[in-house]
């Protein structure tokens, strides 16, 4: 039996959208191996930020797509804690999993004391993104 492999390619022309990929299904309904098929989904960062900010221990959050060899991009959350002693990554992740689809869940949470700001007091998203990319590209020796 031949397996039909489909690729869906989405180009994110809308600013503020991340893309995530995941293994799909073949027409027979069985899971296709990840090497054969990837399905891309658009992710609106604001939805994830809203869900993160509903947590009592998180004061502010931003979400970025960082390069990933397999999926193209993966979701990373930058957070500022309002209550560091009550922050538990596993609890935040579990609460997010109840609100968001699996492909929207951040792979990594990066905690900041405060986000970098511009002279007008707004978050400096360019500098924050540069910091996130630098932190995510650092490889720790095994």
For residue 39, is it within any domain?
no
Q: pLDDT tens-digit profile of 98-131? A: 999 998 999 999 999 999 999 999 999 999 999 9
In a domain, 130, yes or no: yes
CATH number at residue 97: 3.30.300.30
- Is 57 contained in some domain? yes
Pick from 55, 115, 46: nearest CA to 75: 46
Structural domain containing residue 123? 44-137
Structural domains of the chain, count = 1
Total Cβ atoms within 10 A of residue 63:
23
Kindly give the pairing relationship between strand 58-68 and strand 108-112: unpaired
Report the C-alpha gap between 105 and 90 in whole angstroms. 12
Residue 37 is encoded by which pair of tokens?
């098929």
First to last CA, the chain: 42
Check residue 15 and give its pLDDT. 45
pTM of the model: 0.68
């Amino acid at each position: 039996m031949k397996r039909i492999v489909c690729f869906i390619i989405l180009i994110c022309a809308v600013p503020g959208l991340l893309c995530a990929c995941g293994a799909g299904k073949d027409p027979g309904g069985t899971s296709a191996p990840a090497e054969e098929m990837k399905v891309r989904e658009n992710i609106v960062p604001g939805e994830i930020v809203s869900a993160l900010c509903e947590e009592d221990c998180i004061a502010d959050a931003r979400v970025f797509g960082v390069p990933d060899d397999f999926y193209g991009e993966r979701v990373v959350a930058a957070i500022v804690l309002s209550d560091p002693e009550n922050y538990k990554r596993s609890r935040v992740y579990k609460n997010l999993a109840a609100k968001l689809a699996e492909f929207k869940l951040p792979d990594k949470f990066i905690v900041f004391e405060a986000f970098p700001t511009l002279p007008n007091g707004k978050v400096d998203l360019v500098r924050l993104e540069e910091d996130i990319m630098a932190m995510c590209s650092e490889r720790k020796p095994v």
